[in-house]
Amino acid sequence: MFSTPLIAAPMAGGTTTPELTLAVQGAGAFAIAAGGYKTAEQLRAHIAPLRASGLDFGVNLFVPRPAAELRAREQDALLDAYRTALLATAARYGAELPQELPSAEDPPVQDFWAEKIALLLADPVPVVSFTFGLAPASVVDQLHKAGTRVLASVTSVPEALAAAETGVDALVVQHTNAGGHTAAFLPVPAAGDSSDPAKNRTLPQLIAAVSAAVELPLVAAGGVSDAANAKAALAAGAQAVAIGTALIRTHESGARSLHKDALADPAYTRTTLTRAFTGKLARALENDFVRTFTQAAPEAYPEVHFLTAPLRAAAAAAADPQSLNLWAGTGWKSAQAAPAADVVQAFLREL
C-alpha cells in the first residue's frame, strides 16, 4: 500500500502546505494533503504543485453529516446558550458572533463534499483518505475505478469493521492521543464508563485489536512523537505510522506562529479533549478558552466551528493564543522547529 513506514498526516486549517507535503515526500515519507475546509477550487490549486511533482500523494476529505440529519430544535437551544456564554469573551476581542448559523445543506456545512468528490473523480489523485465518517461504498467504488487507493479513518474495532464494509483499501487507526479532531464517527461510551474495554488502551494495543478484527493494512496515528513509539505501533501490526503534531513547528508548516510558539511554551502543561472550538472533540493545548468553555460546549459540529470562527480570528489578530485552537497531540513537547525533512529523516533513520 505504501512504500514507506512514515506518513505525514493531513492537517487542515492551513498547517499542511504544499511545501510541507513536498518536503516530507522528498525526505522519504508519504504525505496526505488536507482538503478539509477548502472549496473544490481551493483544493485544485492546493494540489496542483503536488500533481506537477509526479509523486505518490494523498488528499484527505471530511465526510459531512448527512444533510437529512437536520439540527434538532433542542440542539438549537444548546447553541443559543453557548453563543450567550461566549459573548463576553467575543466582546473582549471586538468579535461579533453570527446570529444565524448556516443550515445543514449549505455547501460550507457539507464541507463542499459534492464538488470535491467530483473534482477527485474527474482529475484523480493517487490516494484519498476520509475522516469524520465513512464515504459511501459507491464513492469508494467510483474512486477505485478512477485508479485511486482509498483510506478510511477509524478509532475503534466497530468503526474498523464498518469501514471495511465500504471496500476501502486501508485504515488510518487514530488513537485518542492524536492532536486535532477525533476521527470517531460512532458513539463512544461516556468518559469514566468502566465497562468500556477500550479505555486506557495504548496505540499498539488499539492496532493489535483492529488488526485482529480486519484484514486491511493499517496506518497507526495519535501521539507518535518519536521513533520508539512509531516502532511499537509497527510491531503491533501497523504497516505505517502517521505523524501530525511532530510536523506543526516545522519550517514548511503553515500553522500560525502563535500555535508553533505555544507548542514550545512551558506555560502549557497539558492537552485536553474539548468541543469548545468546533463542537467536535479535538485535542488541544489547554488554554483559557479550553478551561472556560469545555463544559458548556454542545456536541454540534460544524455549527460550533462557525459560531467561534470570528472569535478565533479576532484572537489571532490580537496575537492572543488564549482563545485559539492550539491543536496538539499528547507528544507535543517533542515537536521540533526544524526543516520538515530533518524531522522525517530522524524518524526514518530508526524505522
Ligand X SMILES: Cc1cc2nc3c(=O)[nH]c(=O)nc-3n(C[C@H](O)[C@H](O)[C@H](O)COP(=O)(O)O)c2cc1C
Residues that bind ligand X (CB under 6 A): 9-13, 15, 34, 36, 60, 131, 153, 174, 177-180, 183, 221-224, 242-246, 327, 329, 331
CB of 277 to ligand X, least distance (A): 11
Calpha distance 16→128 (Å, rounded): 15
Q: Which long-range contacts (CB under 8 A, 24 or more apart) does 197-206 make?
A: 198/156, 198/157, 201/175, 202/175, 202/232, 203/175, 203/177, 203/229, 203/232, 203/233, 203/236, 204/232, 204/233, 204/235, 204/236, 205/236, 206/155, 206/156, 206/173, 206/175
CB of 151 to ligand X, least distance (A): 9
| Residue with Cβ nearer ligand X (79 or 204) | 204
Specify the pairing of strand 149-154 against strand 127-131.
parallel
| Residue with Cβ nearer ligand X (214 or 241) | 241
CB of 330 to ligand X, least distance (A): 6
CA angle, 181 as apex, 318 and 295 as ends, to 5°?
70
CB of 286 to ligand X, least distance (A): 15
CB of 149 to ligand X, least distance (A): 16
| Residue with Cβ nearer ligand X (78 or 174) | 174
| Residue with Cβ nearer ligand X (64 or 329) | 329
- Amino acid of residue 99: Q
CB of 346 to ligand X, least distance (A): 14
Q: Closest CB to ligand X belongs to which residue?
A: 244
| Residue with Cβ nearer ligand X (214 or 242) | 242
Cβ atoms within 10 Å, residue 54: 7
Calpha distance 207→221 (Å, rounded): 10
| Residue with Cβ nearer ligand X (16 or 89) | 16
Cβ atoms within 10 Å, residue 93: 18
